[in-house]
Amino acid sequence: MLDKVIETLAAQLERDPETITGDTDIIKDLGADSLDIAELISNLEEEFDIVITEDAVGELHTVQDVADFLENCVK
């Protein structure tokens, strides 16, 4: 799941996937803004057929946080 999140973020933010790890902070390290976050959430919801609440989004800071959240949703 981590690889999928990295791939999605790299494509969306036009970054080299090799520079993104589980510890990468989506806002601080990648410079994602609120529009980028909304787009990421929308892409993940569509791809995995899930709903990510606003409360959940507020707790997703690192790439690993997102991967762990998806792991729990897609069991």
Q: Hey, CA dihedral for 40, 43, 48, 51, is it positive or negative? A: positive
Domain boundaries, the chain: 2-73
DSSP per position, 4-71:
HHHHHHHHHHT--GGG--TT-BTTTTT---HHHHHHHHHHHHHHHT----HHHHHT--BHHHHHHHHH
pTM for the model stands at 0.92
Question: What is 2-73's CATH topology?
Answer: 1.10.1200
- pLDDT tens across the length of the chain (75 residues): 999 999 999 999 999 999 999 999 999 999 999 999 999 999 999 999 999 999 999 999 999 999 999 999 987
Distance CA 1, CA 7 (A): 10
